[in-house]
Amino acid sequence: MDAHSPALPTPFSTLIRTASHEAHTEAENSSFMGDMLGGRLGVTAYRRYTEQLWFVYRALERCADTLAADPVAGPFIQPELTRTPELERDLAHLGGPAWRSEARPLPATEAYAARVAECAREWPAGYVAHHYTRYLGDLSGGQIIRGTAEKTWGFARKGDGVRFYVFEGIGNPAAFKREYRALLDALPVDDLEKQRVVDECKRAFALNTAVFRELGEEFGGDGRSPLSA
Ligand code: HEM
């Protein structure tokens, strides 16, 4: 670059990724995640975790039809990302036919889903922060969780129990993530609003960490609560 030309602005996808890096490490290092990825938890803990995801994804996806027409959030609404049906299949496998009546959101999950729903209703750019935090994570680290779950609890590879982590409609996740980052870079909002989206992304990570904390309280210690199978 010419020494006199102005520095190129940092692409928004880089900004949001860098800004949430610390929060990501914190979420990744939560004791519940560590116990789960270390194979120290029973399948009941995994079921309970999957139930929490179901409450969150219902909030994320319930509003998809309305948001599809929104100039800011609309481009992010892509049917191949939809996870609620996959979560429902996994939960039917994990909990049997009564799973739905037995599913309970933890207080942290309720708060998380409520914030997603609020953004979906009132602030499409804030919704994008939640969309990014979940779906890009599922396409990345989610794949590590799938491998562990298959090994630890004996689910069929990419089968019932781990369908949430399998994106049948996305043949090339790396290419999909590249295109997703291009959408972030083209977000039609000003710099101040972008900063607010970054802040909401940090909040989204913190909401996830709070869910892990409560799951850790239920299934912590030696990783085997009286409930774990
Ligand atoms: C133990 C759990 C986790 C592991 C092992 C993990 C691992 C990873 C890995 C390997 C990447 C790819 C980084 C890259 O492309 O260079 C990634 C990206 C990502 N993860 Fe996680 N992650 C975990 C938990 C989470 C959680 C709880 C969230 C939020 C709910 C999350 C959200 C994200 C996001 C949004 C990205 C995309 C970053 C970007 O490229 O912009 N991850 N994760």
Total domains, the chain: 1
Ligand 1 binding residues, C-beta < 6 A: 17, 24, 27-28, 33, 37, 132-134, 136-137, 140-141, 144, 205, 208
Kindly indicate the confidence band of residue 8, based on its pLDDT and cuts at 50, 70 and 90.
Answer: confident
Structure tokens at 38: 């270390």
- Whichever domain contains 72, its CATH number is 1.20.910.10
Instruction: Quote the pTM value.
Output: 0.93
Residue 218 DSSP one-character state: H
In a domain, 61, yes or no: yes
Separation of CA 165 and ligand 1 centre (Å): 13
- Number of Cβ atoms within 10 Å of the Cβ of 169: 11
> Using one digit for the tens of pLDDT, what is the confidence trace for 198-228?
999 999 999 999 999 999 999 975 444 444 4
**1 or 173: whose pLDDT is higher?**
173
Count, residues in the chain: 229
In a domain, 226, yes or no: no
Q: Whose CA is nearest to atom 41 of ligand 1?
A: 17
Q: Which domain holds residue 211?
A: 12-219
pLDDT digits (tens, 9 = 90+) for 136-190: 999 998 989 999 999 999 999 999 999 999 999 999 999 999 999 999 999 999 9
d(CA 202, CA 205): 5
- How far apart, in Å, are the Cα atoms of 88 and each of 91, 97, 154, 226? 5, 10, 19, 25
Atom number of ligand 1 nearest to Cα 212 = 27
Dist. CA 64 → ligand 1 center (Å):
23
Structural domain contains residue 229 = no
